[in-house]
Amino acid sequence: MQDKTSETLLPGVERLMSELTTFSNGEASRAASDHLESGGKRVRARLALNASTSLGLSPIKSIAIAAACELIHNASLIHDDIHDKSETRRGKAATWTRFGSGTAICAGDLLISAAYAAIARTHSTSMHQLLTQTHQRVAEVISGQCEDLLAQSNDSLSLDLYETIAKSKSAPLLALPVELALIEAGHQQASEQVGYAADAFALAYQIADDIEDISNDIIQGQPNIISVLGGQDASSSQGEQARQIAVENYRLAARLADQLPRGSGSLLSAYARKGLATILPVGEAA
């Protein structure tokens, strides 16, 4: 799914993230490094590398943008695990369970700070725009997380609010890798379309996850689109309605991503089509 040129840059992304998180010694640095070393698919880094190389950016700029986006995403995971009291991440103990909540919060903060240092490595003439866009997307994720925490005590969550939360929690950090590449390449005007594509992808992905987790979510009292629609299981009419919403949004995400300049959205489109294939009924064309 990823082109070979982008794949060769991934080790450079890992080295830069490691360098920036071990810049100073201390427990927060150790916790941040431990989290990064636990693995992950590096989806945001891959999106950034694909977009950057498609747009002709240098390896140094491509790696810096990819590292920044991946660092912010991993910070959000550390903080999210604390909020949700999730004890595991990637098959091992979550950062907060190993180092304590206080240190984990500091480790997440360190990763966010490191992301801005990574952007500085681009030595971009568009630095103001890169930093402003990054701040905007981080602020949106924070807002989405707060809305999600409030929704967990809301017994009458509306479909509109569900969709808003689903988009705001993950879409900003899916859009950011492509947006930063577009800004650096002088295609700022395409950023709005990236946002729409990421919104559609994030909503579809969350719905697909909800369909799989409906039973567990009901037991734990977690927001789930099927229960928001008034259903109790994936085989209900509400489950089918949820599935159709996901299908429509995966298709929209792929179509919008395909229209971005010089193939910069090709990987986002590929992810959307892969997600679509997992929820389509047997025999239905993507």
Segment 42-54, tens digit of pLDDT:
999 999 999 999 9
Please check whether residues 28 and 96 belong to one and the same domain: yes
Q: How many folded domains does the chain comprise? A: 2
* Same domain, yes or no: 132 and 209: yes
Q: What is the mean pLDDT of residues 207-213?
A: 94
Residues 102 and 191 reside in one and the same domain: no
Domain match, 101 and 171 both: no
pTM over 0.85: yes
Domain boundary among 58, 93, 123: 123
Same domain as 150, residue 77: no
Claim to verify: residue 97 and residue 161 sit in the same structural domain: no
DSSP states of 226-267 as a string? HHHTT-SSTTSHHHHHHHHHHHHHHHHHHHHHHTSGGGTTHH
How is residue 158 written in tokens? 């509306």
Shared domain for 55 and 169, answered yes or no, is no
pLDDT at 84 over 90: no
Mean pLDDT of all residues in 142-166: 87
On whether both 139 and 258 belong to a single domain, the answer is yes
pLDDT score at 218: 75
- Does residue 139 share a domain with residue 97? no
Are 142 and 277 contained in the same domain?
A: yes
Mean pLDDT of 67-77: 98
The strand pairing partners of 88, in sequence order, are 93
Residue 283 above 90 pLDDT?
A: no
- 60: Cβ contacts below 8 Å, ≥ 6 apart: 121, 122
Give the model's confidence band at 261: pLDDT under 50 very low, under 70 low, under 90 confident, else very high: very high
Domain interval for residue 49: 1-123
What are the tokens at 56? Answer: 């002709």
Say which CATH number the domain at 32 has.
1.10.600.10
Q: Convert 104-114 to b/e letters by CB count within 10 Å (16 or more is b).
A: bbbbbebbbeb
Same domain, 284 and 149: yes
Instruction: Identify whether residues 286 and 145 lie together within a single domain.
Output: yes
